[in-house]
């Protein structure tokens, strides 16, 4: 259901449930949580990449599990996915999403919790929930409007319209659209670039941005000042600035 692989200092998590187009059910969510926790605690891993196998990234949450949920069971299922996505959003390591195909419903929501989203030309996105008598429940109604605005979010969620990779790029949902057959290579190249930078600096940048987006700007600036101050005197700051002065490539831990 969830495959893990290490390529140097890059951890790769692949959704692999081809019989259901990688749909999310409780077992997939639990396996994903285990994989994420393992890579987060592995000091050798600097960047985490998520991808889907076959023609889908994640086709959504599994309707065969959801259709009979009622009351507390529905709360538990939704909370399990929502809390894991929040955990991934705020984990210390940078995350990249390689979107190869369908990213519908919960799959779209999952992509939104990652730091950088790269789409192949065949990627497509939709929120079909209103046509199923429900609403997005893994944080989509909160993350997407913060990214593209409330009005456009409402249009996409009210209609369930499928958008292609090029429109997702125009809206700012994805960072790049690349040829389908080079998606993995492009994502791996980007991950390697990030992995070469200071792990501490990347973590502090991520925390500063994520926390700052949730509070007023004056408080956010104080957070930024705290993180930048914490960098000074560290191995990475001394090495990075020494390497710049000596015109060589820095050697971070």
Phi and psi torsions of 51, nearest 5°: -150, 170
Give the domains, in start order, of the chain with CATH numbers: 2-195 (3.90.226.10), 199-245 (1.10.12)
pLDDT in tens, 64-105: 999 999 999 999 999 999 999 999 999 999 999 999 999 999
Judge whether 186 counts as a catalytic residue: no
Q: What pLDDT, on the 0 to 100 scale, is given for residue 98? A: 98
Mean pLDDT confidence for 127-154: 97
- From the candidates 19, 30, 121, 129, which is the catalytic residue? 129
pLDDT in tens, 205-252: 999 999 999 999 999 999 999 999 999 999 999 999 999 999 999 999
pLDDT band at residue 154 using 50, 70 and 90 as cut-offs: very high
Q: Indicate if the pLDDT at residue 132 is higher than 80.
A: yes
Q: What pLDDT, on the 0 to 100 scale, is given for residue 188? A: 97
Q: What pLDDT, on the 0 to 100 scale, is given for residue 32? A: 98
pTM, to two decimals: 0.95
**234: buried, middle or exposed (CB in 10 Å: 19+, 13-18, 0-12)?**
middle
Q: What pLDDT, on the 0 to 100 scale, is given for residue 99? A: 98
Q: What pLDDT, on the 0 to 100 scale, is given for residue 213? A: 94
Adjacency order of strands within the sheet including 116-120: 2-7, 10-15, 47-52, 95-99, 116-120, 176-178
Q: What pLDDT, on the 0 to 100 scale, is given for residue 253? A: 77
Mean pLDDT confidence for 5-23: 96
Q: CA angle, corner 47, sides to 46 and 52, nearest 5?
A: 150
Q: What pLDDT, on the 0 to 100 scale, is given for residue 121? A: 97
What is the C-alpha separation between 8 and 188, in angstroms, rounded? 11
Mean pLDDT confidence for 8-34: 96
Mean pLDDT confidence for 185-203: 97
What is the C-alpha separation between 18 and 34, in angstroms, rounded? 20
Q: Indicate if the pLDDT at residue 159 is higher than 80.
A: yes
Judge whether 214 counts as a catalytic residue: no
DSSP string for the chain: -EEEEEETTEEEEEE--GGGTT-B-HHHHHHHHHHHHHHHH-TT--EEEEEESTTEEE--B-HHHHTT--HHHHHHHHHHHHHHHHHHHH-SS-EEEEE-SEEETHHHHHHHTSSEEEEETT-EEE--GGGGT----SSHHHHHHHHH-HHHHHHHHHH---EEHHHHHHHTSSSEEE-GGGHHHHHHHHHHHHHTS-HHHHHHHHHHHHHHTTS-HHHHHHHHHHHHHHHTTSHHHHHHHHHHHTTS-----
- From the candidates 30, 67, 109, 167, which is the catalytic residue? 109
Q: What pLDDT, on the 0 to 100 scale, is given for residue 224? A: 97
| Percent above pLDDT 90 for the chain | 98
């Amino acid at each position: 259901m969830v495959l893990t692989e290490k390529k140097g200092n890059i951890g790769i998590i692949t959704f692999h449930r081809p019989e259901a187009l990688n749909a999310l059910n409780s077992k997939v969510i639990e396996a994903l949580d285990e994989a994420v926790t393992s890579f987060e605690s592995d000091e050798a891993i600097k960047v985490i990449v998520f991808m889907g196998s076959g023609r889908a990234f994640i086709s959504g949450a599994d309707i065969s599990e959801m259709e009979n949920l009622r009351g507390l069971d529905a709360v538990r299922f939704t909370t399990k996915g929502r809390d894991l996505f929040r955990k991934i959003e705020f984990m210390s390591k940078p995350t990249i999403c390689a979107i190869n195909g369908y990213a519908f419903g919960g799959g779209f929501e999952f992509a939104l919790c990652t730091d950088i989203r790269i789409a192949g030309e065949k990627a497509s996105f939709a929120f079909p929930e209103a046509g199923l008598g429900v609403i997005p429940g893994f944080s989509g109604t909160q993350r997407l409007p913060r990214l593209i605005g409330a009005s456009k979010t409402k249009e996409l969620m009210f209609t369930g319209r499928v958008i292609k990779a090029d429109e997702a790029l125009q809206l700012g949902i994805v960072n790049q659209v690349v040829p389908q057959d080079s998606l993995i290579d492009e994502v791996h190249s980007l991950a390697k670039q990030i992995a070469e930078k200071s792990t501490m600096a990347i973590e502090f940048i991520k925390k500063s941005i994520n926390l700052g987006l949730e509070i007023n700007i004056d408080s956010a600036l104080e957070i930024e000042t705290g993180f930048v101050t914490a960098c000074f005197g560290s191995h990475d700051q001394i090495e990075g600035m020494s390497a710049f002065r000596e015109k060589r490539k820095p050697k971070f831990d």
